Amino acid sequence: MNMSRLYLVTGFLGAGKTTFLKGFLKMFPGERIHVIVNEFGKEGVDGELLREVGAVLDEINNGSIFCSCRLDRFEEVLASVLGTEPDVIVVEASGLSDPTNVKKILGQKDKFPGVEYRGSICLADAVNFRKVYETARVVKKQINVSDMILLNKTDMVPAEQAEQVKQMIRAQRPDLPVHLTSYGRIEPEWLKQMERAQSAGAGSTGADSPEAIFQSADITLRKGLLYINRDISLEKLQKFVEMFIEDTYRVKGFVCLQGQWYLTDCVGNMFHAQECRPKEQSDNALVVLSGYGLPVRKSVKKAMEWYPDVVEKYDFH
C-alpha cells in the first residue's frame, strides 16, 4: 500500500500560514501533493503555485475541520484524497481551530490505513503573540499538539521581544523545538529533525491527554460584522478601522468602496487593503474577530461616533 505522508499546519490568524505554505510545498519536488485547506476568510492559495508544484487543492469552509460539527466532512475529504494515493498531504487548519483531536482522528488505522502522520508545524507571530496567547484559548491548544514551532516575523520585532516569546512557548512546552524565522521560511534540517522525533515516538504529547478525546469551540472568541457604506473612501475606512484594530485578532472582508472592490485584511495594528476582482455576492462587510479581555465593542462604537457614515449596520455575537 502506498503511504501518504501527512503534515498538519496550524497557527493563529495572521501568523503567516499561507506564506509558509507557499515555500513548504516546494520542498517536495517531483512528488504528488494534495493540500486540504480550512481557513477563515480564505482568499485562496495561489493557483499558479499549485500548478507549479503539481499540487491538488481541497477547501473546507464554514468552521473548524476538527470541530465535531465538521469532523465528518474532514474524514470524507481525507478518505477521498487517500484514494488518489498522493505522496504528501498537507492540512492547513483554520487559525481559529482547536486541533487537539488530530492524532485521534489520524490514529484510526482502520479508516485511514494509508496515512503516515509526520507531525504538526505551528506558526507563531512574534509581533502579536502575547496578545493572542493571553486572550485566545486555542493558541495554547495549537501549541499543545505541535511538534515544531516556527516563530515567524522575527524581522519585525527586537531580538529581546522574540526571545521573550520563545520563553513563553518554552514555559508551556519545554520539549518543543522553537525556530526563529521570517516570511514563514523553514529549513530542511528542521523538518528532518521533526520527522526523526515522530518516527522515534518522541512527538507531541499534548494530543494524548484526556482532553484530546473531546472537541469544543473556543468560547472566548467574539465575532462581529460591520456592513460598510459603499460611498465612503478607502482612506476613511482605514482611519475608522485603525481606531479599534489593536483590540482585535483580525479584521477581514471584501468591500466595495466608490465602485472599487478591495480585499481588506488587518492583523495587529496594520491596516491592509488591496484591489481585487468584483465580489458581487459579498455583503460588503468586514468580519471582526476578537476575544475576552479585548474591549472591541467599546472601541468600535467609539470609531462609529467619530465616523458615523462608515457603518450602515453592525452585528456582534
Number of domains in the chain: 2
Q: Which of 189, 213, 237 is the last residue in one of the domains?
A: 213
Residues 84 and 190 in one domain: yes
Q: What does the pLDDT read at residue 268?
A: 63
CATH number at residue 273: 3.30.1220.10
Residues 6+ apart with CB under 8 A from 5: 87, 88, 89, 116, 118
Residues 50 and 88 in one domain: yes
Residue by residue, what is the 3-state secondary structure of 210-257?
Answer: HHHHCCCCCCCEEEEEEEECCCCCHHHHHHHHHCCHHHCCEEEEEEEE
Residues 283 and 151 in one domain: no
Q: How far is CA 162 from the centre of its chain?
A: 20
DSSP state at residue 3: P
Residues 225 and 121 in one domain: no
User: In which element (H, E) is residue 313 found?
Assistant: strand 311-316
Residues 121 and 82 in one domain: yes
Pair 64, 96: CB distance under 8 Å: yes
Residue closest to 60 by CA, chosen among 40, 80, 45, 79: 40
Give the span between the Cα atoms of 57 and 34, in whole angstroms.
6
Q: Which of 213, 234, 266 is the last residue in one of the domains?
A: 213
Per-residue pLDDT band at 248 (split at 50, 70, 90): confident
Pair 141, 206: CB distance under 8 Å: yes
Q: What does the pLDDT read at residue 196?
A: 83
Pair 58, 33: CB distance under 8 Å: no
Could you tell me the CA-to-CA distances from 135 to 241, 245, 247, 292, 310 in Å, in that order? 20, 15, 11, 6, 28
- Per-residue pLDDT at 171 exceeds 60: yes
What's the average model confidence in pLDDT over 168-187? Answer: 91
Q: What does the pLDDT read at residue 142?
A: 86
Q: What does the pLDDT read at residue 104?
A: 63
- Per-residue pLDDT at 17 exceeds 70: yes
Residues 192 and 249 in one domain: no
Q: What does the pLDDT read at residue 47?
A: 56
Per cent of the chain over pLDDT 90 is 37
Q: What does the pLDDT read at residue 280?
A: 64
Residues 157 and 249 in one domain: no
Q: What does the pLDDT read at residue 150?
A: 97
- Per-residue pLDDT at 65 exceeds 90: no
Residues 12 and 81 in one domain: yes
DSSP letters, 88-153, are: EEEEE--TT---TTHHHHHT-TTT-TTEEEEEEEEEEETTTHHHHHHH-HHHHHHHHT-SEEEEE-
**Assigned C-alpha cell, 88:** 504528501
Residues 67-110: pLDDT tens digits?
Answer: 555 567 778 888 889 999 999 999 888 776 677 666 567 666 67
**Assigned C-alpha cell, 56:** 491538488
- Per-residue pLDDT at 217 exceeds 60: no
Residues 56 and 160 in one domain: yes
What's the average model confidence in pLDDT over 31-46? Answer: 69
Stronger pLDDT, 223 or 307, i.e. the higher one: 307
φ and ψ of 25, to 5 deg: -65, -25
Residues 198 and 231 in one domain: no
Q: What's the mean pLDDT when you consider all of the chain?
A: 80
Q: Which of 213, 242, 277 is the last residue in one of the domains?
A: 213
CATH number at residue 194: 3.40.50.300
Residues 146 and 104 in one domain: yes
Q: Give the residue numbers spanning the domain of 138.
A: 4-213
**Assigned C-alpha cell, 196:** 526523526
